[in-house]
C-alpha cells in the first residue's frame, strides 16, 4: 500500500521506528554518561570527604587512636570498637589484664559453661562504664566490666551476655546502635546504663547528629545500614550540619526522648528493657587529687556537676514510669563509703568492686524475671 508520497506504509513505519530507536539510543547514552559522571564525581568527593571527615573526627586526639587504640571511625555510629581487636597482642601484655573485641565490635565475654541450650540472650548497652575501664593509678588502666562479672553470677542458668558498651556513647548512640545492629541479634533482654556522657560537653555535635529521627531513616538504618548508599547518605548529611562546640551532647529533653524511643522500638521487637541507675562518686569519697576528680567535669564545682547529673537520672526514672521499664538500682551500695566502689582517679568509673556490685544487683533482678516485655 502506497501513501501520497508514493512510499509504502510499511516502509514509512519502519523508517519512523528506526528514527525513534536512534533517539532512544541517544537518550540512553546520555543517561549512562550522566550517571557515570555523577558516579565518578561521587567517588572523588567521597575520597576527599572521607579524609576530611576522619580529620574532623580525630580532632579529639585523646579519644581516637592515641589513647584508646581499639576505637575506630564508623560512618553510621561515628565511632565504635574495632572488630577483632586484641589488647594483649597490641601491647604484649597478659590476656588476664586485657580484653578482646569480636567481629561485630562487641567486647568478648567468657561464655557460660553450663550444659544445655541458651535460655536468654541479654545485651548490655552503654558507655565506658558498661564496656569496662577504670583508672587504678595515675597511668594504669584496668578493664573489669560488670557484663563479664554478670555472666559469672548467672552461670548455670544458660543465659548468654553480649557487652555492647562503647567508650563515649550517649543515649543517642544507643538508640542508633539498637536500630542498626542490636535488633538483628534478636535479644530477649537489653540492659541500659547511660547518662554521664549525655550531659558532658561536646567537641562537635555533628558527630552525634546521625539520629534516625523519622520512620524512613529508621527503616533505612535498620534494614540497609551495611549498604554503601545508606553509609554515604549518613556521611554527606554531616556536611550540611553547622559545627557546634560545647554544651551537652544531648539536652535533658533529648535524653528523655532517646530513651523513650529506644524502649518503644525494643518492646515492639518483643524485647524486655531494664534501665540501670548511674550514680557517680559522691563528694564525701575523697579522690586521689582534686585534678583527677575534675577531669570529666565542665561545671565550676563538683557539687554543681553532681546536680546536673542528678537531673538526668531523675529524667531516667520518669521514663521508666511512663514506659513500664524496670529500673535496677545500685546507688545505695555504690555510694556507701564503706564499699569503696569507685576509682580513686576519676569521678565516673566504678572499680572492680563497684562493677561487681552492679553485676550482683542486675543478677538479682534477672534471675527473678520471667515476665513479658
Return the pLDDT at 212.
59
Cβ–Cβ under 8 Å, residues 174 and 126:
yes
The answer, yes or no, to whether residue 116 has pLDDT greater than 50, is yes
Grid cell 554531616 — which residue? 238
Q: pLDDT tens for residues 45-68?
A: 555 555 554 454 444 433 444 567
> Would you put residue 4 in left (φ > 0), alpha (ψ -120 to 50) or beta?
alpha
pLDDT confidence of residue 15? 54
Sheet of strand 120-126: strand arrangement: 159-163, 120-126, 189-193, 272-276, 326-328
- Which of 39-43, 261-265, 325-329 bottoms out in mean pLDDT, i.e. has the lowest? 39-43
Q: Are 260 and 78 in contact (CB under 8 A)?
A: no
Higher pLDDT, 173 or 139: 173
The grid coordinates of residue 125 equal 548497652
Tell me what pLDDT residue 60 has: 43
pLDDT at 33 over 60: yes
Nearest CA to 372 among 260, 222, 276, 268?
268
Return the C-alpha cell found at 209.
547528629
Cβ proximity of 126 and 193 under 8 Å = yes
Range of weakest confidence among 7-16, 161-170, 200-209, 316-325 = 7-16
Q: Poorest-confidence range of 60-69, 291-300, 353-362?
A: 60-69
Q: Where are the alpha helices (DSSP H) in the chain?
A: 9-57, 87-91, 128-131, 146-153, 171-180, 215-224, 228-239, 252-268, 290-293, 302-323, 331-334, 352-368
d(CA 373, CA 364): 18
Nearest to 346 by CA among 146, 195, 166, 142: 142
DSSP 267-306: HHTT-EEEEE--PPPPTTSPPS-HHHHTTT--SSSHHHHH
Amino acid at each position: 500500500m502506497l501513501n501520497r508520497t508514493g512510499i509504502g506504509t510499511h516502509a514509512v513505519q519502519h523508517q519512523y521506528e528506526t528514527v525513534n530507536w536512534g533517539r532512544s539510543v541517544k537518550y540512553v547514552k546520555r543517561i549512562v554518561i550522566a550517571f557515570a559522571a555523577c558516579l565518578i564525581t561521587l567517588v572523588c568527593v567521597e575520597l576527599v570527604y572521607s579524609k576530611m571527615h576522619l580529620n574532623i573526627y580525630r580532632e579529639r586526639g585523646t579519644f581516637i587512636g592515641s589513647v584508646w587504640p581499639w576505637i575506630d571511625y564508623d560512618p553510621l555510629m561515628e565511632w565504635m570498637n574495632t572488630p577483632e581487636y586484641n589488647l594483649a597482642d597490641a601491647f604484649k601484655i597478659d590476656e588476664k589484664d586485657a580484653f578482646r573485641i569480636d567481629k561485630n565490635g562487641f567486647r568478648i565475654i567468657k561464655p557460660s559453661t553450663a550444659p544445655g541450650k541458651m535460655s536468654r540472650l541479654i545485651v548490655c548497652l552503654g558507655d565506658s562504664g558498661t564496656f569496662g575501664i577504670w583508672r587504678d593509678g595515675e597511668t594504669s588502666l584496668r578493664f573489669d566490666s560488670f557484663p563479664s562479672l554478670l555472666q559469672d553470677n548467672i552461670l548455670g542458668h544458660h543465659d548468654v551476655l553480649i557487652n555492647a558498651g562503647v567508650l563515649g556513647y550517649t543515649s543517642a548512640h544507643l538508640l542508633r546502635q539498637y536500630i542498626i545492629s542490636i535488633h538483628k541479634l534478636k535479644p530477649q533482654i537489653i540492659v541500659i546504663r547511660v547518662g554521664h556522657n549525655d550531659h558532658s560537653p561536646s567537641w562537635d555535635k555533628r558527630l552525634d547528629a546521625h539520629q534516625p529521627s523519622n520512620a524512613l531513616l529508621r527503616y533505612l538504618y535498620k534494614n540497609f545500614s551495611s549498604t554503601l548508599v545508606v553509609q554515604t547518605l549518613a556521611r554527606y548529611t554531616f556536611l550540611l550540619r553547622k559545627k557546634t562546640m560545647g554544651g551537652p551532647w544531648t539536652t535533658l529533653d533529648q535524653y528523655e526522648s532517646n530513651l523513650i524511643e529506644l524502649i518503644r522500638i525494643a518492646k515492639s521487637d518483643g524485647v524486655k528493657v531494664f534501665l540501670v541507675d548511674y550514680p557517680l562518686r559522691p563528694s564525701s569519697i575523697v579522690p586521689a587529687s582534686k585534678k583527677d576528680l575534675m577531669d570529666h567535669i565542665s561545671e565550676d564545682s563538683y557539687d554543681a556537676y553532681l546536680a546536673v547529673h542528678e537531673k538526668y537520672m531523675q529524667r531516667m526514672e520518669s521514663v521508666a514510669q511512663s514506659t513500664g521499664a524496670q529500673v535496677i538500682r545500685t546507688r545505695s551500695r555504690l555510694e556507701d563509703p564503706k564499699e569503696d566502689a569507685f576509682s580513686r582517679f576519676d569521678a565516673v568509673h566504678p572499680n572492680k568492686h563497684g562493677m561487681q556490685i552492679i553485676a550482683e544487683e542486675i543478677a538479682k533482678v534477672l534471675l527473678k524475671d520471667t515476665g513479658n516485655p
